[in-house]
Amino acid sequence: MTTTDLAVPDESAPVRRHALSRRHREWGLAYLLLLPALLVFGVFTFYPFLKNFKLALYQNPPYPGLPSHYVGLSQVGSVLSSTSFHQSLVSTFFYVLMVVPVGLLGGLLLAIAAHKAIRGMSMFRTAFSSTVVSSVAVAAVVFGTLMDPVVGLLPWLGIDPHPAILQNPTWALPAVSLIAVWQFLGLSFIIMTAGLQSLPDEILEAARLDGAGGWTMFWRVTVPLLSPTLFFGLVVGTIYAFQSFGQIDILIGPQNSGFTHTNVLLYYVYQALSIQHDPGVAAVLSIVLFIILLVFTLAQMRYLERRVTYAAN
Amino acid sequence: MSTDVRPGIGKIGAGVARVNFAGVSKAFDGTLAVDDLSLEVHDGELLVLLGPSGCGKTTALRMVAGLEDPTGGTVSIGTTVVNDVEPKDRDVAMVFQSYALYPHMTLRKNIEFPLRQQRVPAEERARRADEAAATLGLGDLLDRKPGQLSGGQRQRVALARAIVRDPKVFLMDEPLSNLDATLRIQTRADIVSLQRRLGTTTIYVTHDQVEAMTMGHRIAVMKDGMLQQVAAPQDLYERPANTFVASFLGSPGMNLLPATVVDGALEVDGVGIVLRGAPLRIADGPVTVGVRPESASLTATGIAASVTLVEQLGAETHVICTLVDGTRVVVRQGRKAVRPDLGEAVAIELDPDYLHFFDAATGDRLADDR
Ligand SMILES: Nc1ncnc2c1ncn2[C@@H]1O[C@H](COP(=O)(O)OP(=O)(O)OP(=O)(O)O)[C@@H](O)[C@H]1O
Ligand SMILES: [Mg+2]
């Protein structure tokens, strides 16, 4: 008995050493293969990301060409307390609030409509999802024409928009958000279709047999079952909405974005950097944007974790 | 208010809750899943739809539920043709193979869901859900969600959700197939006693012939979308209508041997079988003889065969033999019998009192009662 006890470590030791060295070799290879990606991310993502935090601590002089100087957190404080920042935050808030729910609900309704097995439905599916691949510039030009005060849709209907929609402090923000909704609809449709297709048919059939009508079916069965998908869409849509830039720049421009209340956060970053040549302010603004999106993403992870029991059923 | 245990009766048409298929067909582009099915399920009966995978059982069931539209014929519940009646208006409850519980609702909400759709007041809803849960032994689990249950418990929730409605008809699609063997036998008995107590017309789909034999008042055997035979379990076993039913029922199924009738006498593999009583009333020529494994035995003289496999099941042994022409014959032996060795040359004797005769070409049963 004693001998066998002794024999065990004697035999296993070389095996373990061998396994260890093999694992080391695998790790080495793994890092080697990761190196190109690490380099690219490091140079184009991580370094600028960290540099941005440093920029936020330096104030730029009012005239270009002079050196910036370290001011610590005072610049952060002054930006966060400025009215133009508050206005931008409010605009962003309303903008996201218009784009995301409408885009999600629209995508869901289109997905439900296209979920039926009807001949020729694939044509509609292609059409519904096509906005994903259309460029924002093209969309902006098309919608810009539709909203034109002279040749657009409203004059054609006999309504004289005055001031023009895109110069109107009330309507400019809904107008640009409409373009974002239109563009997000395709992605939303694809996400919702994928979600719907993964739902077990039998649960929906059981609900039909149990007497659920269209309304109950939608709100009490489909939507709860789709909630992980909806939440995913919510996060993707929010990130998408926060990053809107193209149609504002093309249709409104830096001069008009202020008084038309279309100065959303990302556009404000652009303005601070490229129009006002103030990298410090731009850095502070982009950190705010980063924190908002980070909170959203973390919330999603927490939420989806709670939903794991769903998938296990 | 009413003490009637089945208040659902009378909602569709008048009269009893029978289900009738009249020449029902269902074609999915290309394949005919159900082919001209005519079948009457009596009021209060548990009818088992039995058949191999892909024979159209689920499709037939779904046409009763209204989840699939027949491409021909009519389905009626009671006296009403339901072809154009919405699923929710048919007053049928279905138990799906996957249970199809609502994962985001507690068990109570799951069970109450159909009642909620019928606008049953909250108090009555709660009372009936409690009753259904108690019937199935789910009382203390009502606040859980389906994800927190075992397979057997989920299965019982699905049953509770069906019985709480007091429907005219229960439809069950292989509800036990996800359970382990012990639980399956237990739940099988539970479903039978529940059905007998409620007296609700039930169509029960399975491909497990033991389930069919033990549960059904009658069994309808299907193959390739076509109904083969409808009969009480014992009748089906004793008088199968064709070779398919004969070999599908029983474990293992009936042995089918090619044979010849010469002047009313029977020869299998050139060996004359001694028949008692009158000579066969079957025309001379080839015939298929069916014999259950328990009606065959190994003897000193008989049809020559060699042993290819011996399966010991504890209480009994299956000896699988091969005849000279390659036909497989299974012989069931009791515990006391002498077990042959693999490859051993043996002789098989058929009990002349338990022979079945089928047309060699069509496989249909030939009228010669023995
Ligand atoms: N939605 C459908 N579209 C096309 N073909 C189908 C569809 N549903 C069933 N079928 C076909 O119809 C036939 C019968 O299917 P069904 O599901 O009724 O069989 P089943 O007897 O229930 O089999 P199982 O025991 O495997 O559940 C099969 O050949 C199947 O491929
Ligand atoms: Mg099936």
Optimal mutation site among A199, A204, A210, interface B, most CBs of chain B within 10 A: A210
Instruction: Please give the Cα distance from B272 to A15 (Å, whole number).
Output: 70
Domain boundaries, chain B: 19-243, 255-359
Please answer yes or no on whether A211 and B114 come within 8 Å at the CB atom.
Answer: yes
Tell me, yes or no, if A208 comes closer than 8 A to chain B by beta carbon. yes
DSSP string, B2-52: ---S-TTTTSSSSS---EEEEEEEEEETTEEEEEEEEEEEPTT-EEEEE-S
**In 3-state terms, what secondary structure has residue A269?**
helix
With beta carbons less than 8 A apart as the criterion, state whether B90 and B12 touch.
yes
**Residue B365 DSSP code:** B
Q: Is B28 in the pocket of ligand 1 (CB under 6 A)?
A: yes
CB A257 within 8 A of CB A263: yes
% of chain A exceeding 70 in pLDDT: 90
Asked if the interface predicted TM-score (ipTM) of this complex is over 0.85, the answer is no
For domain B19-243, which architecture applies?
3-Layer(aba) Sandwich (3.40)
CB of B222 closer than 6 angstroms to any ligand 1 atom: no
- The verdict on A209 touching B (C-beta cutoff 8 Å) is yes
**Is B100 an interface residue toward A (CB < 8 Å)?**
yes
Distance, CA of B152 to CA of B179 (rounded, Å): 6
A226 touches chain B (CB under 8 A): no
- Say whether pLDDT at B220 is over 50: yes
Place of tokens 């020449």: B23
Q: Nearest to residue B219, comparing CAs of B28, B27, B49, B9?
A: B49
| B255-359: in CATH 3.40.190.10 | no
Distance separating alpha carbons of residues B186 and B313, to the nearest angstrom: 21
The single-letter DSSP state of residue B291 is: E
The answer, yes or no, to whether residue A311 has pLDDT greater than 70, is: no
B50 lines ligand 1 (CB under 6 A): no
Those residues whose beta carbon sits under 5 angstroms from the ion ligand 2 are B 58
pLDDT tens across B38-70, in order?
A: 999 999 999 999 999 999 999 999 999 999 999
Reported as a single tens digit per residue, the pLDDT across B239-279 is: 999 999 999 998 899 999 999 998 888 888 778 887 777 77
Q: DSSP string of B201-225?
A: EEEEEES-HHHHHHH-SEEEEEETT
Residue B71's pLDDT band, with cuts at 50, 70 and 90, is very high
A215: helix, strand or coil: helix
Lowest mean pLDDT among A163-167, A201-205, A282-286: A163-167
d(CA B58, ligand 1 centre) in Å: 7
B88, B97, B165: residue with CB nearest A208: B88
Q: Assess whether the region B19-243 and the region B255-359 belong to the same CATH fold.
A: no
CB environment B203-237: b (16+ within 10 A), e (fewer):
bbbbbbbebbbebbbbbbbbbbbbbbbbbebeebb
* C-alpha B174 – ligand 2 centre gap (Å): 7
Task: Verify whether ligand 1 is closer than 6 Å to residue B56 (CB atom).
Answer: yes
**Average pLDDT across chain B, whole number:** 89
Contacts (Cβ under 8 Å, ≥6 apart) of B69 = B26, B63, B83
pLDDT at A90 exceeding the cut of 80: yes
Nearest C-alpha to atom 7 of ligand 1 is from which residue?
Answer: B28
Chain-chain contact of A209 with B67 (C-beta, under 8 angstroms): yes
Whether the CB of A118 is below 8 Å from some CB of chain B: the reply is no
